Amino acid sequence: MFRTGITSIAGYLPRRRLLRKAIVDAGKWANPGLAAHGKGRRTICSHDEDSLTMAVEASRFCLAGADDTPLGLIQFASTTAPFADRANSVILNEALGRSADVRCSDVTGFLGCGVTALINALECERPALTVASEKRLAKAASVQELSLGHGAAAVTTGTDNVIARVLAAHSIAADFVDHYRTAGAQTDYLLEERWVRDEGQMKAAPPAIAAILTAANLGPGDIHHLVLAGASRAAARQIAAQGGIPEARLVDMLDAGCGDTGSAQALLLLCHALETAGPGETILLVNIAQGCQALLFETTDAVGKQAPVRSIRSQLDGGVDDDNYLRFLSFNDQIDIDWGIRAERDNRTALSAFNRHRKTATGFVGGLCTACGTRQFPKGRCCVNPECRQFDTLVDEPFEHKVGTVKSYTEDWLAVSANPPLMYGNVTFDDGGVIMMEFTDFEPGELRVGLPVRFVFRIKEKDPKRQFHRYFWKAAPVHGEEGTAHG
Q: What is the pLDDT of residues 151-173, one digit of tens each?
A: 999 999 999 999 999 999 999 99
Reported as half-sphere exposure (CB side, CA atoms, 13 A), residue 316 has a value of 18
pLDDT value of position 379? 94
User: d(Cα 18, Cα 322) in Å, to the nearest integer?
Assistant: 5
**What is the three-class DSSP state of 398?**
strand
* CB 188 within 8 Å of CB 111: no
pLDDT value of position 98? 94
Question: Is residue 363's pLDDT more than 60?
Answer: yes
pLDDT value of position 487? 36
* CB 284 within 8 Å of CB 226: yes
pLDDT value of position 346? 85
Residue 62 binned pLDDT confidence (cut-offs 50, 70, 90): very high
Question: Is residue 485's pLDDT more than 70?
Answer: no
* Average pLDDT score over residue span 212-227: 97
* Average pLDDT score over residue span 455-462: 96
Asked if 5-331 and 341-351+401-477 have one fold, the answer is no
What single letter denotes the amino acid at residue 350?
A
Record: fold of 5-331: Peroxisomal Thiolase; Chain A, domain 1 (3.40.47)
* Average pLDDT score over residue span 147-154: 98
**What is the three-class DSSP state of 453?**
strand
Residue 454 binned pLDDT confidence (cut-offs 50, 70, 90): very high
* Average pLDDT score over residue span 292-316: 92
Question: Is residue 282's pLDDT more than 90?
Answer: yes
Show the beta-strand stretches assigned E in 159-308. Answer: 164-173, 179-180, 189-190, 225-229, 282-288, 291-299
Record: fold of 341-351+401-477: OB fold (Dihydrolipoamide Acetyltransferase, E2P) (2.40.50)
* Average pLDDT score over residue span 438-460: 97
**4 Cβ contact list (under 8 Å, min separation 6):** 121, 122, 123, 124, 125, 157, 158, 159, 162, 166
pLDDT value of position 345? 83
pLDDT value of position 125? 82
* Average pLDDT score over residue span 405-430: 96
Q: Backbone phi, then psi, for 388, in 5-degree steps?
A: -115, -70
Residue 402 binned pLDDT confidence (cut-offs 50, 70, 90): very high
User: d(Cα 128, Cα 137) in Å, to the nearest integer?
Assistant: 29
Reported as half-sphere exposure (CB side, CA atoms, 13 A), residue 372 has a value of 15
* Average pLDDT score over residue span 55-60: 98
* Average pLDDT score over residue span 133-144: 96
pLDDT value of position 1? 60
* Average pLDDT score over residue span 218-240: 95
Question: Is residue 68's pLDDT more than 80?
Answer: no
Q: Please state the domain extents for the chain.
A: 5-331, 341-351+401-477
* Average pLDDT score over residue span 255-282: 97
Question: Is residue 259's pLDDT more than 70?
Answer: yes
User: d(Cα 267, Cα 237) in Å, to the nearest integer?
Assistant: 19
pLDDT value of position 304? 83
Minimum mean pLDDT range among 64-73, 385-394, 438-447:
64-73
User: d(Cα 310, Cα 380) in Å, to the nearest integer?
Assistant: 35
Mean pLDDT of the chain: 94
End-to-end, the C-alpha distance of the chain in Å comes to 23
* CB 297 within 8 Å of CB 164: yes
**What b/e sequence results for 302-315 when a residue is b if at least 16 CB atoms lie within 10 Å of its CB, and e otherwise?**
bbbebebbbbbbbb
Question: Is residue 273's pLDDT more than 80?
Answer: yes
pLDDT value of position 242? 93
pLDDT value of position 484? 35
Phi/psi zone of residue 159: left (φ > 0), alpha (ψ -120 to 50 degrees), beta?
Answer: alpha
Residue 308 binned pLDDT confidence (cut-offs 50, 70, 90): confident
* CB 243 within 8 Å of CB 300: no
pLDDT value of position 343? 83
Percent of the chain scoring above 90 in pLDDT: 89
Question: Is residue 481's pLDDT more than 60?
Answer: no
Question: Is residue 482's pLDDT more than 60?
Answer: no
Minimum mean pLDDT range among 14-23, 167-176, 339-348, 441-450:
339-348
pLDDT value of position 3? 87
Question: Is residue 316's pLDDT more than 80?
Answer: yes
